[in-house]
Structure 1
Amino acid sequence: MIRTALTLSALLLAGSSLAQTTLTVYSGRAKTFVDPIVQQFERQTGVKVNVRYGTDAQLVAALREEGARSPADVYWGNSVGALGELASEGRFTKLGTALTRNVSDDYLPDNRAWLPTTVRFRTLAYNTSKIKPESLPDSILDLPKMTSLKGRIGWTVSYPSFQDFLAAMIAKYGEATTKTWIEGMKALQPKDYKTSNVAMLEAMRAGEIDVALTNHYYIQRVNRLNYPIDTYFFKAGDMGNLGNATGAGILKTSKNQAAALRFLQALVAKDAQTFFLSVNFEYPVIGNILQPTTMLPYADVVKRSPKIDPTVLPKNIEKAQKLLRDAGLL
C-alpha cells in the first residue's frame, strides 16, 4: 500500500512530461459541467482530452463490452451506483493518499478505487404557496400516507439518483419494505417526469404538482429565479436525505495513468470545486470553499443523510429497477 501511494505521488509531479498526451474520458456528467474543466486542464497541462458523453448506464455497458480494448482512461460518473459497479468488477486503479488526503472521507470508498468529486443530497421540494413545511412527514417512509397529496406529487423514476435512493432503501430496510413504499407512492398517483428534474420543478411552478422528490441543487437553481419552491429535509438520518456523490476513477486498462491521475487531481482542486458549486450548487469535497447562504453548511447536511456503505448500492440497483418494473413504473 505504501509503495502504491508513493508511486501515485510521483505521478502527480509528472505534469511537465504530459504534453502531447491524449486522454480519453468517459463522462456520465453533462457537458455543461465537464467542458470548462477539460478546457482549463488542456491549457494547464498541454494534454489533449477527448470526452465521450452518455448516461452512466450507457458508459458502464460500453466499458464492459470493450473490456481491455477500451480507449477510456478515466470514468467520470454521475452516481455512486455506477462507480460502485465498475469498482466491484475491479476496473479501477487504486488511488494513493497523496490524491485523497484532502478529500472528505464521508463518500470516499474504503478501497480508494475512485475519487468523489461533488456531493448531492436527496430532498423534498415543495411549493411554498401551497404547502406548509410543518405539514410534511418526518420520514420519507411516511410520505405514502399523505393522501392529501394524491395526484400532486412529482418524481423521476428513471433518474439514476432516484434509483440509487431505492437501492439504499433496499440495503437498509429490505426489498419488502421498499416494495410497500413504492406501491404506497403509486397509489397517490404521482406524476413521473422520467429523468427531467428541471421539467418537474417547472411543473411545480406552473401549479401541476405541490411536492417533488429531487436533488437539493435543482431547488437551488430555481431559487435564483425566485420560484415559489423551497427545500424540505426529513429528520436526521432519514433515507429521504440520502447523500450521493459524483466521482471519477482511473481505468486499469488506461495507457495514460500519469495524465489520468493529473486529471483527477484537477477535479478536486479549489478552482474546479468552486466551479461545481457556483454552476450547479453541488457540495464540494474539499474544505475552505465559501457556500451560498441559501445552502445548509456541508457539516450540517451530511449529518442528515443516512450512513449507507456505497459498495452495497450496485447489487441493489437491479433489484430497485425490478421493483419499479413490477409496479409498472419503468
Structure 2
Amino acid sequence: MSPASPPTVPPNGAPAGSPEPPPASALTHWVLTLSCPDRPGIVHAVAGLLAAHGGNITESQQFGDPLSGLFFMRVQVESASPRGELEEALAELAGRFSMTWALDVAGRPMRTLIMGSTAAHCLNDLAFRQRSEKLPVELVAVVSNHTALADLAAFYGIPFHHVPVRRDTKAQAEGRLLELVAELDVELVVLARYMQILSDDLCRALAGRVINIHHSFLPSFKGARPYAQAHDRGVKLIGATAHYVTGELDEGPIIEQDVERVDHTRTVDDLVALGQDVERRALARAVRWHAEHRVLLNAHRTIVFR
C-alpha cells in the first residue's frame, strides 16, 4: 500500500481548499476607538468581532483607568468588510458594553480649519508639516481677525477668511465661524495663536473639536506678555501646552506639553524665540495625535495612545 500523498499546496502557500485571502486592494485599514465601563472580556469581544469580519489587527493599545473605572482602546485593523457591516456589528457590541466608539479610515486627512491673529509661526509650521511630513490633515481654511496671515495662507494655497472681531460683533463673528465649519465640513479647529476668547456657546458647539496652543505650562502666565512675565519671575523652564478648548479659559484637557531649559542670561526676546519653537512642536504633535484618533477624552484628562 503506497503512502498517502501530501496535500497539494498552491503557490500562495495555503493548503488546498482554504479560502483565498482577499487581495490587498480590497482591504481597508480602519482605526477603531472606544471607551466603556471597565469589565472582563472587552478586548476578547472586540478582537473576536474583528476576526469574525476578516479583520487583521495591525496595532492595538488599551488602558483601564482605576480612577474613573473606564476602559479605553484604540485598534487599527485591515478588513475587506464594508463599513456598514462593521458599524452594525459594533453598534450591537456597544449596546452590550455601554460603549462609546468611533470608526474611521486610518490615515484619512482630517478636514481642519486654522484660526490665527498676527503670529505666523504655528500656521506656517502646520502647513509645512502637512506638505513635507504627511501630517494627516486637509487644511481647508484659515480664519483670522486680522489680515496679517493672508499672504502666508495664499502661499500654501489655503483659502483665507477675514472675520473681524469687536466687542459688539463677537456673536456675529462666531456665527460666521460656525457657518464655515458647516459649509466646509470641518472636523477640527486649531487655534494657532488666535488671540480671542471663544464664548461658552461656541465651546459647547465644538466640544472636543478645538485645539489651542498656550505659551506656558497651564495655568501659569495667563494674559498679555507671557514671556515678559516669565522673564520677570526668573523661570528656568519655559514650556507650551496644547489642549482642548472649553469654557474654562486655558484649562481644557491637556493633550501635549513641551519644555526648554533657560537661564539668567536669556533675554525676553530669547524666551520669545525659544517659546515659539516649543509652541510649534507641542501643537504639531497634538494635531497629529488627534487626527490619527490617538486622543480619547477621560473627563478633564486625556488618554493619548502614542
Higher helix content, 1 or 2:
1
Relative contact order, higher structure (CA 8 A, sep 6+): 1
Higher radius of gyration, 1 or 2: 2
Instruction: Give the TM-score, by structure 1 length.
Output: 0.29
Higher strand share goes to which structure? Answer: 2
